[in-house]
Amino acid sequence: MEYISTRDTNETPAAFSEILLTGLAPDGGLYIPAHYPEVSPETLQSWRELLATEGYAALVTEVLDLFISDIPREDLAAMARRAYNAEAFGTDEIVRVSRFDDRMFLGHISEGPTAAFKDMAMQLLGELFEYELTRRGQKLNILGATSGDTGSSAEYAMRGRDNINVFMLTPAGRMTPFQQAQMFSLDDDNIYNIALEGTFDDCQDVVKAVAGDADFKAQYSIGAVNSINFARILAQVAYYFALYFKVTESNDQKISFSVPTGNFGNVYAGHVARMMGLPIDQLIVANNENDNLDVFFNTGYYHRKQAGGSIKTSSPSMDISRPSNFERFIYDLLDGEAGRIKDMFGVLVPQGGFNLSEDTKMLDIVPEFGFASGSSTHADRIAEIKDAHERLDTLIDPHTADGVHVARGWLPEIDTDIVVLETALPVKFSETITEAIGSFPPVPERFAEVEGKEHHVVDLPNDAQKVKDFIAQHAAEKEQ
C-alpha cells in the first residue's frame, strides 16, 4: 500500500512509515491511500468470527495489515494488543453497543483513559510512533491542536515516551473546566500545553502554518496527531467494523451511523470503511451550530467563516468551522482531481469557500456515497439529554446528544437501524448535564481528583512564529 497527497497531480507515492511521522504532505495536502483495499464477503465473515473469538485487537490487526505494508504483521499485532486492553479501556470488549431507543443504538467508543472516543486512535498512534522512532533512532516533536478531547487523548497516549515531545495548542477559554484540567494537570516533562488566543480554527491554522515551513519542520522533526494523520483514521475505521458486527447477525444486513463531528475525521473513517465494503446504508453527519458541513451536504456550498470563526457552543469539541478531513472526502467526490483540490482548498477556501451545487459530479456521486446531515442547537441538546435520562434511564454527553437529535430527524427517511456514536462520557461536560437533568453527572473514580490539580499551561498569542520559537526553545533544552 502506498499513499499520495490530495493535492499532488503527479501522485508521488509515500510509504506508511513516512506519512506516519510527517502529518501534512509537503504540498499542504492530506495523505490518503492510493486505493481503498476491498474486503470480500468471505473476509467480512472471517472478521466477524475473529472479533467474537479473539477480540478487538485481532480485528484491528486485520485492518492495519491491509493499509500498512512496511511494518511486519506480527509487530502490528503486538502494538494492537498493547493499545487495546482492559487496563486502558475498563473491559476486554473495548467497543460496546447498547440499545438506546426504537431503531437506535449507542456505540460506546469512549471508555478509554480520557473518556473520549479519541482514545480509540491515540492509544494505537502512541504505539506506532514509538515503534517507528525506535526503529529509526529518531525523536519527534508533535504539534497538535485541540477543541477539547484530542489534546488530552494525545497527551495521555504520549506521556512519558522518551523519543516524543507533545506541543498542544488549545483555544483559550473555549474548553470545559474538566477538559482543561485533564490536559493542564499533566506535569510530564515531554508535554507542553499552550493556550492560544482565538478559536480552534486559529489553532489549526497555526499547526498548518508551522507544518508548511519545510525547513523548520525538518530541523525540529515536527509530526502531527490531529486527524490529518491518516494513522488516526485507520484506527477509527476498525471500530466501524466492530460496531457493525455487534449490531447485526449476518453480513447481508445494512445499518446507518449518526456521527457527531467537527473535523470530519470520525465520519470520514466510516466513509473509508464503506469504501472497503462494509454494508453501511447512511453516514449521517451531525453538526452543532457550527454547521458548515450540514450546509454543504444540503446545498453544495462550503464557506469559510470569517471574523470570529467558529461559534462557542455547549458541545465544544465540535466548535470547528474549517474541518481538515473534509478535503479527503472532496478528493473522492471529485474522483481524485488533485489539481482542482489544490485550487479549492489552497486558494478558494482561504478566500471564502467554494460552490459545487451545479457540479454534475457532486449531484451524481453524493447519493452513491450515502451521506446525510443535520444540525442541532443548545436547546436540542438539553432536550435530548433530559429525555434520555428521564425516559430511557441513560445519560449522554452533549455531542452524543447532537448525534441523537439529528438521527431522530432521519428515522422516517431511513429503513435501517441507526448506531449513534457516543463520543465522550457526560462527566466531561458537567455544566450542560446539570442544566439538563438538574444534578451533577456521576464522576468515574479514576477522574475524582482531576479538577483539583495544579495547571501547567503557557499562554501565547495567535502567531505561528511565536509557537515556532517556543518549540525551538524547549526542543533545544531537551537535547541538552
Active-site residues, by number, are: 118
110 Cβ partners below 8 Å, 6+ apart? 116, 117, 119, 422, 423, 424, 425
Nearest Cα to Cα of residue 98 among 448, 471, 421, 318 = 421
Q: How many residues does the structure list for the chain?
A: 480
Q: Are 134 and 166 in contact (CB under 8 A)?
A: no
Q: In what order do the strands lie in the sheet with 164-171?
A: 222-223, 140-145, 164-171, 191-196, 458-460
In angstroms, rounded to a whole number, what is the distance separating the alpha carbons of residues 238 and 232? Answer: 11
Q: How far is CA 182 from CA 112, 154, 428, in A?
A: 13, 11, 9
Cell of 442: 456521576
Report how far residue 12's alpha carbon sits from residue 415's, in angstroms, rounded to the nearest whole number: 42
Kindly provide the b/e burial profile for residues 324-349, where b requires at least 16 CB atoms within 10 angstroms of the residue's own CB.
bbbbbbbbbbbeebbebbbebbeeeb
Rg (CA), the chain: 21
Three cell numbers written together for 258? 449518526
415: Cα within 13 Å, side-chain hemisphere: 5
Q: Please identify which residue in the block is written with the cell numbers 478535503.
A: 327
CA separation for the pair 224, 19 (Å, rounded): 10
What whole-number distance in Å separates Cα of residue 235 and Cα of residue 64? 8
- Give the span between the Cα atoms of 271 and 131, in whole angstroms: 28
Q: Is beta strand 3-5 parallel, antiparallel or unpaired with respect to 458-460?
A: unpaired
**Contact at 8 Å (CB) between 457 and 184?**
yes
Q: 332-336 — which CB contacts under 8 Å span 24+ positions?
A: 332/271, 332/275, 332/369, 333/361, 333/362, 333/365, 333/366, 333/369, 334/359, 334/361, 335/361, 335/365
The x, y and z cell numbers of residue 363, run together, are 449531484
List the beta bridge partners of residue 143. Answer: 167
Residue pointed to by grid coordinates 425516559:
391
Distance CA 4, CA 14 (A): 6
User: Residue 401 and residue 386: Cα distance in Å, rounded?
Assistant: 10
